[in-house]
Amino acid sequence: MLLVGESWVSAANHFKGFDTFSSVTFHLGAEPLMRALRRSDFRLTYMPAHEAANGFPFEMKGLASYDAIILSDIGANSLLLHPDVWLHGRTTPNRLKLIRDWTAAGGGLMMVGGYLSFQGIDGRARWRRTPVEEALPVTCLPHDDRIEAPEGIVAEILDPSHPVVAGLPEPWPPLLGANEVVARPGAHVIARMPEGFGGHPLLVAGQHGKGRTLAWMSDIGPHWLPAGFVRWPGYRQLWTQALDWLTGGG
C-alpha cells in the first residue's frame, strides 16, 4: 500500500510584549492508521506530502509494487507541479493520468477526506475534473466542499453487509466533518451522512476498469475523525476491511 499525503508544516509568529519570534513545526497525520495496521497483513509505505512532488513515480513500473494507493489530504498541485515544471518550465508525464490508468489496469485507489482532499478548503485541493476524479466513485463539487460539524456527524450505514463494514459495531462514533461529494451513477454508497447533514455520501465503493475504488469523505485521524473514533474497536477493523476489499478481497 502507498499512502500519499497527511503531513504539513506550520509557521507561527509569537508576540510577547515588545519582542517577537517565529517558529516552524512539522506534523504527520497518519499515525493512527499506521498504528492500526501494525501486525496486520498490510505493508504500508508512507509518502508525506512534501515528498510527493519529487518522490511519486512517473511511470507505471514505479507503481508495480503497490496493490493500492491512498491519497489523503494532499492537493492535485503536489503531483502536477514537479520542480521541473514549476521551476524550470520543462515537460513531465502527468501523474494524475498515471494514477487513473494504473487503477484501470487493476490497482486499488482510495481517496480519504480532508482540507486538501476532493475539492477541499476554498476549492484548493482541486481534484475536480482531473484524471484522478475520473477513476473515483464520486465527483467533486466546484467550490469549497467542507461540512464542518462540531456537534458531530453519526454515519448512517446503508449496506451493513458490505465487506468494508460487515461486523463493525454500531452506532459508529461521531465525526467532526467531511467533504461533500456526489456519488457516480452505479457507484455503491455504503454509508452516508444523516438527513440533517444533507444525506451526502460518506463511504462509496466503485470500479474503474479492472480496479476497485473507494472514497471515504472524512479523515484518517484528528481533527475530523476525533480521538474517540480512533479508540473505537471498529477503527482498525474498518481500515483493514477497506484495504482488503480494495485489493480484491471480499
Enter the C-alpha cell of residue 205.
Answer: 465503493
250 pLDDT more than 80: no
Question: How high is the mean pLDDT of the chain?
Answer: 96
Distance (Å, whole) CA 133 – CA 139 = 6
> What are the beta bridge partners of residue 19?
16
102 pLDDT more than 90: yes
Mean pLDDT, residues 190-216 = 98
- Counting residues of the chain whose pLDDT is more than 90, the rounded percentage is 98
Q: Counting Cβ atoms within 10 Å, is residue 154 exposed (0-12), middle (13-18) or buried (19+)?
A: middle
**Predicted local confidence at residue 249, as pLDDT:** 81
Q: Which CATH superfamily is domain 2-11+23-246 in?
A: Class I glutamine amidotransferase (GATase) domain (3.40.50.880)
39 pLDDT more than 90: no
213: how many CB neighbours lie within 10 A of its CB?
Answer: 24
Enter the C-alpha cell of residue 9.
Answer: 508544516
Structural domain spans, the chain: 2-11+23-246
User: Residues 95-124, buried b or exposed e (16+ Cβ, 10 A)?
Assistant: bbebbbbbbbeebbbbbbbbbbbbbbeeee
What digits encode the pLDDT tens for the residues 155-179? 999 999 999 999 999 999 999 999 9
Mean pLDDT, residues 95-106 = 98
pTM of the prediction? Answer: 0.95
110 pLDDT more than 80: yes
29 pLDDT more than 80: yes
What digits encode the pLDDT tens for the residues 207-223? 999 999 999 999 999 99
